[in-house]
Amino acid sequence: MADTFRLTLAQLNPTVGAIAANIAQARAVWQQAKAAGSDMVALTEMFVTGYQTQDLILKPAFVRDAMAAVATLASDCADGPAMGIGGPCLQAGKLYNAYYILQGGKVTATVLKHHLPNDGVFDEKRLFTPADVHGPYVVNGVRIGTPICEDSWHPDVAETLAETGAEILLVPNGSPYHRGKPDLRLNLMVSRVVETGLPLVYLNMTGGQDDQVFDGCSMVLNAGGGLAVQLPQFDDCIEHVTFHRTAQGWQADHGTRAPVPPVAEADYRAMTIGLHDYLAKSGFSKVVLGLSGGIDSALVATIAADAFGPENVHCVMLPSRFTSQASLDDAEAVARALGCRLDTIPITGPQAAVGDALAPLFAGTEPGITEENIQSRLRGLLLMALSNKFGAMLLTTGNKSEVAVGYCTIYGDMNGGFNPIKDLWKTRVFDTCRWRNANHRPWMKAPAGEVIPPRVIDKPPSAELRENQRDDDSLPPYPVLDAILEGLVEKELSVAEIVAQGHDRATVKRVEQLLFTSEWKRFQSAPGVRLTQKAFWLDRRYPMVNRWRDMG
């Protein structure tokens, strides 16, 4: 009986639907594991198909392709270490979320997921069948138990595996980022280790998929809960971990101990990766956006430049007669600091042409919100034209506060294919800009230093759609607005509970009304990076037609 067991961990970024490319990644890391003398290489949950697949997994041809790829991979990787890899499994007409163990040219074990998550962004009960708990499987004489992702969030699966002889727990995951997630995972996994007395390997994927970003943070815990390995947050990496048999059971040698970055950095990295992977996996490599001289578009331009390089970011200023010289100067300063191209397309001519066309029908009416929105929609039209002509994805730049209350124009400034700051409250936008000015990391492709001039951050926000317009003419000050919205959206508090925190009831009721009546806009909005557990899309699903209001 061997007294060492070497496990290669693959913290990698699969792509949904790219079965051949995902299998090629698995084969390449298996070669590395073989060269390192490993007994086994582990990949993450649903790695063969990418994750999350949503209803794509209900297409029988897709499942057949994925299962055939697993069989081929087993055959190709016969002479070397065992492999664990996640993928779908169809058995007796039922579809399961499975983890395959490949060794000696065949599938030697198929572990099926027991607990199916059905909250937040997860809908697995709609897609998969829950399975009975699978016992340990054996790789080179070592009994390994595998709770698949959600299975490890509950004590029963790990306890059953320990009772049936497991010596090491290997947990493959598809766990997306939100603020506080690393600490939450660590606390849960320590609980499983303490309950079972077994070492635990937590292996998570990386990369962006639609609105979600998988942030890695894989770890190895020894019995007692001591941290032996902590892989970096967000980075792809391969780690060879050696376990030794002791009188107290298997124990892992210490390896990489990467620090988990603070929330400000993690949010920024998530937005950068989410934007990059959404575009790259969709076939885009460059972006275009309207650069207004305001803080939101400056931050989006910076994120895009960090993701793709300044040479792939095309900024466009679209001034009207209400655009101040300060805004023109600030847009130029941002583009210059980042090293991005900036073009200016005045909308005064198109605005006059639209005004002339509508004049017979608008006769006798007073100018107002309609005319303001025409400006925004003309900008959206021109930016979409540039996107279509040059193959650059248009980015939209509305923050979570604006998206929440509908302070944005449908078919205007909401035009675009992706919004990296969609889940970032306005107050966090200010903080994020200051953080980026003060920090630079090797993964950032834009220059270091003060890329967003302080006056862009400090000036009063304005849409500049009429003379002397300011956001706080129409909305409560952003610190007040965000505090109310966090209560309504992220905490699902009642009006009375928010008023009890010290807020004016009439203001809270007005914000609640704006939130509910803007649902139809959010339904048509571009996807954006999820940073919280109440991001607008899968986390929070409200009806567009809704007559109920909280009367408290």
Which amino acids are annotated catalytic?
45, 113, 149
Structure tokens at 196: 């079972």
Whether 127 contacts 58, CB under 8 Å: yes
CA atoms within 13 A on the CB side of 56: 17
Ligand-binding annotation for 507, yes or no, is no
76 is in an annotated binding site: no
Answer yes or no: is 255 a known binding residue. Answer: no
- Is 135 one of the annotated binding-site residues? no
Residue 521 among known ligand-binding residues: yes
Q: Is 402 annotated as a binding residue?
A: yes
Residue indicated by tokens 């639209």: 354
Comparing CA positions, the residue from 491, 238, 254, 286 lying closest to residue 386 is: 286
Write the DSSP string, 225-280: S-EEEEPPBS--EEEEEEEEEETTEEEEPP--BPPPPPHHHHHHHHHHHHHHHHHH
Only one residue has tokens 């926000």, namely: 461
152 is in an annotated binding site: no
Task: Say if residue 242 carries a ligand binding annotation.
Answer: no
Contacts of 92 (CB under 8 A, 6+ apart): none
Helices (H) and strands (E) in the chain, counts: 18, 19
| Cα–Cα nearest to 192, from 224, 231, 216 | 224
296 is in an annotated binding site: yes
The verdict on whether residue 239 carries a ligand-binding annotation is no
Is the separation of the CB atoms in 461 and 476 below 8 Å?
no
Beta strands in 361-417 (DSSP E): 393-394
How distant, in Å, are the alpha carbons of 95, 110, 306, 402 from that of 92?
A: 9, 14, 48, 49
Annotated binding site: 175, 181, 290-297, 373, 397, 402, 521
Binding residues for ATP: 290-297, 397
Q: Which residues are annotated as a binding site for deamido-NAD(+)?
A: 373, 402, 521
Residues comprising the binding site for L-glutamine? Answer: 175, 181
